[in-house]
Chains A and B, each alone.
Chain A
Amino acid sequence: MTWTIAITAGVLFGAGTYLILQRLLSRIIVGLGLIAHAANLILLGSGGAPGEPPLLDEASAGPYSDPLEQALVLTAIVITFGITAFLLALAYRSWTEQGSDEVEDDREDLRIARRREAKP
């Protein structure tokens, strides 16, 4: 179980990193989503082996799941959800105003590049 989580999280993180390094904003956002999933999985995995539902029940004395990290993951999911939505709105505005989804070049970089071209 832990191995599955660890490997899945690793793959998600790798794919997310690859997507973040792309030029298209939509890909970057998907990449961020994958990285957030990886983080949530690791958080979930940190609770150890799963057991009975963590309900207050005197009858079942068996091992039960750790409820804390489930609560943490819920909080984290809500936060990432909100910020991803915000980022999507931002991407949409950038698309309506520029007509493209591509992340522009850094202006400082352009300035330096132009200066170098001017002085051969």
Chain B
Amino acid sequence: MTTLATLPIVIPLLAGALALALGRSIAGRRTISLIASGASAAVAAILLVAVDNDGAVVVAVGGWTPPFGIELVADRFSALLLVASTVALFAVLVYAVSQRATDEEFRGFHAVYQILGAGVALALLTGDLFTMFVAFEIMLTASYVLLTHRADGTETRPAISYVVIGLVASALFLISIGLIYGVTGTVNLADLSVRLDAVPPGLRSGLGWLLFMVFGIKAAIFPLFFWLPDSYPVAPTPVTALFAGLLTKIGVYAIIRTQTLLFPSDEPSTFMLVIAGLTMIVGVLGAIAQTDIKRILSFHIVSQIGYMIMGLGFGTVAGVAAAIVFIVHQIIVKASLFLVGGLVEESEGTGAIDAVNGVARRSPIIAALFLPAALSLAGFPPFSGFVGKLALVEAGFAANAWIIVGVSLAASVLTLFSMTKIWAGVFWGTPNTTERRITPRGMALATASLVAFSLVIAVAAEPIVSYAERAADDLIVERIIAAMPEGVSS
């Protein structure tokens, strides 16, 4: 049981080391990487069931009794996100392997990819603030390498701004940890949730907003999102899809984890709701102004983050549950949309809307993959985005937050508009050339499996929403018990 919670971190780390050791054999690297990602996804699924049935799993790493040692905690919230992340990691890996170019050009691709996976798992499973910093660094350093390895002369600037912003955010994270440790004398999350109660409210909320800003940079909320649409589109498709699906959501995970556990509030947070609304609107307006598929989708990442912050801002169990469902939906759908964008680029040579026409006629498969993913992003019934948005809207009505619900619906309409812009520009019309290009089957299959997974979320909406409600209940109502290992009294 306890090994189960360490496996999602250990498997990719070992696989990364092996992939490095295998240096020359590309087939070997691919096999190791695929096996490791598949195994992580399977372990995550088992962990999810185990955690849901028997409660949170707590592992004291190295045998040190909490709160002194490093702890891994898998509760319902982290287990669910772990499943979504590992599934996305696996599907994107299959795509990258069948695309061939990405991992043939860059020998270290699989090693770095696995290390990124390990960082994501550690960020989700860690039970203390400093280990979360280390996890973020593992994840970000791997992402720096993935983003920059191909960067030629013209592309270094966006890559550099990504690294610099990441470093500044890390420094701020360290400073917040230092201040929190100075005030409370601990970095263990469960222990902090108790000790912060003794801290004066002004100081406590100051620390809370500092952490919110740190994770806000990672999550790309308004007004801290400018680096994202700038840097993401320059990477190879599998890398962009992975970043889009995972990295910002891990930031949102950290926001939800720390805000609910350390800085809980019983009433809706007006500040958070305002930020959420601005993130949605500014992000979607940015998307409308763009003319390249990947850039449009990058702005939508920002816009959709607003919905998650909105769910958290309601401060209710229903709101957080809706945010959790929405994160899971976004991890899958965002990654699959970028993969479809990559398919278009692969078969047409460019992703510029003006330059591509009639993809629906040339490659109906790509069109058939884009449509459900795009409608899902816009929140069209019966796709997975609808499930998340419906839950958010209901939570908003329950919290009497009419304005933000209206804003979110307006942003949805604009999202739909932006998706129809891609559809009309890229998929409709007469093809420019009659030259046939073949879409690699593995890439289409990987994309299709992610799209299918998002449809599963829509079909299995009832169990997923009720699971998310249990997870949110753990976070908000029983916030201490969920993370505090048994035998350690508060």
Contacts and interface: CB of A to CB of B under 8 A. Distances in A.
B152 A97 contact: yes
A94 B151 CA distance: 9
Contacts of B134: 75, 79
Contact of B130 (A72, A80, A87, A106): A72
A112 B397 CA distance: 40
Contacts of B167: 32, 35-36, 80, 83, 87
A76 B156 contact: no
Contact of A40 (B145, B148, B163, B174): B174
B220 to A, nearest CB: 16
Contact of A42 (B145, B163, B179): B179
A35 B181 contact: no
B167 to A, nearest CB: 5
Contacts of B145: 86
Contacts of B148: 90
Contact of A72 (B170, B172, B177): B177
Interface in B119-134: 130, 133-134
A104 B172 CA distance: 26
A103 to B, nearest CB: 6
Contact of B156 (A20, A40, A48, A94): A94
Contact of A86 (B144, B151, B170, B178): B144
A86 to B, nearest CB: 6
A104 B230 CA distance: 13
Contacts of B168: 20, 32, 35
Nearest to B138: A79
B420 interface: no
B160 interface: yes
Contacts of B103: none
A106 B156 contact: no
A83 B141 contact: yes
B181 A93 contact: no
Contacts of A79: 134, 137, 141, 170
B63 interface: no
A16 B239 CA distance: 31
Which residue, A40, A44, A83, has most C-beta atoms of chain B within 10 A?
A83
A38 B178 contact: no
Interface in B88-102: none
Contacts of B187: 68, 72
B156 A38 contact: no
B29 to A, nearest CB: 22
Contacts of B175: 38-39, 42-43
B177 A43 contact: yes
Nearest to B130: A72
B26 interface: no
Interface in B149-168: 151-153, 156-157, 159-161, 163-164, 167-168
A108 B187 CA distance: 42
A90 B163 contact: yes
Contacts of B151: 90, 93
29 contacts: A20-B164, A32-B167, A38-B175, A42-B175, A42-B178, A43-B175, A45-B178, A45-B182, A46-B181, A48-B182, A68-B181, A68-B187, A69-B181, A72-B177, A75-B130, A75-B134, A76-B174, A80-B171, A83-B170, A86-B141, A86-B144, A87-B160, A87-B163, A90-B156, A90-B159, A97-B156, A98-B156, A103-B157, A108-B230
Q: What 3 A-B pairs come out closest when comparing CB atoms?
A: A46-B182, A97-B153, A43-B178
Given A39-B178, A79-B141, A94-B156, 12 more contacts: A20-B168, A32-B164, A35-B171, A36-B174, A43-B181, A69-B181, A72-B130, A79-B170, A83-B137, A83-B163, A90-B160, A97-B153
